[in-house]
Each structure stands twice: as C-alpha cells, then as structure tokens.
Amino acid sequence: MSQTDKPLPQNIGGARRVAVKCWREICRPVVKLARTFSRSDCDNLDFASETQYLKHQFIGLGEDEFRTLLLGGEFFQRANVGLQAYLTANVPRLYRIVHSLVSCQEMLAGPTLDVASGNGILYPLLKRLLPSMFPYSIAELNARHVEIEGQTIPCHPFECEKGRLPLPDASQGCVLYCDTIEHLIVDPVWPILEFNRVLRPGGKLVITTPNAAGVSRAAGIFFGLSGATENAIKPSAIYQRHNREWTVDDLLRLAECCGFGKCVVTTHSHLITPREDELLQTAHRVKLLAKPRSYYGPEIFFIAEKTAERNLDMELSQDQRWPTFLYSHYDVYRRRPQIFPIQVGPDYS
C-alpha cells in the first residue's frame, strides 16, 4: 500500500485532516505517473554496469588559487572586456570543470582538441595541471591561431552542426566539448559523430553542460519559475542561448548512438542545498525518486570512451542517426535542413 492509499489516523484534527486528504489527492496521480515511468524505457536503460559516478577528491589546487591563476595570467590581461567579465563571473564553474578533469587524469591523454573553447580559456590551467593531455589545439567558428604564454595554439575552423574537422581519422586522444551542447539547435548528433571520427579507439569525449534534471530546477518550478537555466531570447545570436538542455540519461543515450560507452559522470551533487535535499527526501518518501541523489546536482561533467567506429561517412540506421529521444519521431523532420537558421556573418561571428 502506498503512502497515498493508507487510511488517515483517527487522531488527526479537522483542518489538518482536510489538508492531508488534499495533499494525497494531489500526490495520487503523480505517484501513478511515476509508476508508469518506472515501467517505461526511461528506467530500463542498462547503463548501470558501465556508468560510474565520479568521486571528488583533493587535487592540490583550491578555488582561490585557481581564481588567482585564471584572472592573473596573461590570457586574462589580453582578453577583451566581455571575456574578462565572463571569466570573472564563472570562476567557480570553470574550477569545477578543471577539478573534474584532474580527478580523471589517469584516463585522459592527448592530443587534445578543445572545441568551442573560448579561444583556449583553459589552456594555461591544463598546461600546468594536465600535461598528459598535450599537445593541445582548439576548434572555433572563426578560426585564427591564438598565442598564449608565448605558445601558438593551432586553431581549426569548425561549425559544430554544419562543418567537418580538418583533422585525420583517429588523430586525437581527447575531445573537450565544454558548455556547448546546450547551445545546439539543429543536429546535435552531427558533431558527436564527427568527434568519433577524429578520436582514436579508446579516446575520450568530455562534455560539460547544465543538468536539466537538477533538483534546483524542480525547486524553481514551485516558485513559478521556468526550469531552464537560461530564458533570454537573443535574436542576433541564437546559438549563444541555451536551446536544448540535457539530462544524464540524454547524454548516455547520445553516447550509445554515436559509438561511445564506459561513461563516467558527476552532477556536482555536493552543490545540492539543504532545502533541495529536503525536497529530494520528500520525493523519495512518496516514491517519486527514480534515480540516486547523485543524479540531481546542477551541472553535468561527462566522459565517454570511444568503443565503436561510428561517423558521418557511415550508413547508420534511423535510430542511430536520428534517435527519437532527441529528434521528432515524424520522419519528415528527421533530416538535415537545406538552409541553416543562421549564416556566419553580421548576425553571428
């Protein structure tokens, strides 16, 4: 018998009795819905045997020291005002990315391609903390070589949903794809298949992105707020807003479609606040919690290993190339557009 079906104790007073009955009436359809989900494909994904949650560990570099290195170096001093403001505001999040990379350093080896890297934002830190990931190059919409700390960083031209990387097959040991996948709007499988092509067997793909299933989203909904981390419309730069946000299961499905497995993930669940934790405990008590607590942190750090050859030059099944968890199940929509939403130029550069 579920919590919503148990008889009410006789000693509950009138007003409280009415409140409890109302709460149970609200919970009953939600619990029924949760049971439906638990029987569906959403809960039958057999990733548990291969997927590991990353355990955080001390890396010998605190956030304050990281801030000093990031904001006191040559890269920051030469950056424009907008980039300086971005770096200053995002020190904690960038620190968590580097912290997670260092925690996984034994599985990471170069050459490394940093896609949509902000022209090498993390280069000075990676050079100091993760020399095994070098040599290092970047891929940007507007390709131009970057000089940082006296070193010229090669830059390859790449439009994530449209272009091909000018790199040989199986030439990279690691691809970094940080805080980019949530900005895609047309065809997110395209770049992941291209990354598979340039990665050698056993190479690693690193993705970071906000967690669409973070408990903070649910908490915000109760206050009448949108569950998205970003809602601002940007007419002249639609790729600079969050167009589709992702859960851990979304990334696991994407990885499987594109020839990746043996995934390691963290959602930085140590950032869950006491109030959010209480919300999770309440959901657990009424049997609404289908995942472990570690699933519900605010940000995803995700590493997947290339386990199979799967790329844009291969004949792939519809379910591999256009998986319905991501694209519409109507075939008319499961194809490349003839005209992309934007062209690189005055409206986006």
pTM of the entire predicted model? 0.83
Measure the CA–CA gap between 95 and 64, rounded to whole angstroms: 10
DSSP state of 55: P
Tokens of 63: 């956030």
CA quadruple 304, 305, 307, 313: dihedral sign: positive
User: Which residues, 6+ apart, have CB-to-CB distance to 158 below 8 Å?
Assistant: 115, 139, 140, 141, 143, 164, 165
Please write the tens of the pLDDT for every residue from 203-221.
Answer: 999 999 999 999 998 888 8
Across the chain, mean pLDDT equals: 84
Over residues 11-25, the pLDDT tens digits come to: 545 555 554 454 455
Tell me what pLDDT residue 68 has.
92
**Cα radius of gyration (the chain):** 22
Cis peptide before 111 (omega within 30 of 0): yes
CA distance 142 to 139: 9
- Look at residue 30 in the predicted model and tell me its pLDDT: 41
pLDDT one-digit tens code per residue, 48-72: 334 577 766 667 788 999 999 899 8
pLDDT for 2? 43
Q: At what angle do helices 63-72 and 91-103 cross, to 10 degrees?
A: 110
The per-residue pLDDT for 346 is 61
How far is Cα 17 from Cα 206, in angstroms, rounded to an integer?
52
- Residue 104 in contact with residue 56, Cβ under 8 Å? no
> Domain limits of the chain?
16-45, 47-326
DSSP class per residue in 299-339: EEEEEEEE-S---TTS---HHHHS-TTTS-SSGGGSS--SS
Higher pLDDT, 98 or 6: 98
Residue 290 pLDDT > 80: yes
pLDDT, residue 56, reads: 65
Q: Give the pLDDT band (50/70/90) at residue 146.
A: confident
Fold of 47-326: Rossmann fold (3.40.50)
Determine contact, residues 263/50, Cβ cutoff 8 Å: yes
| pLDDT in the model for residue 27 | 47
- The helix (run of H) or strand (run of E) holding residue 78 is helix 74-78
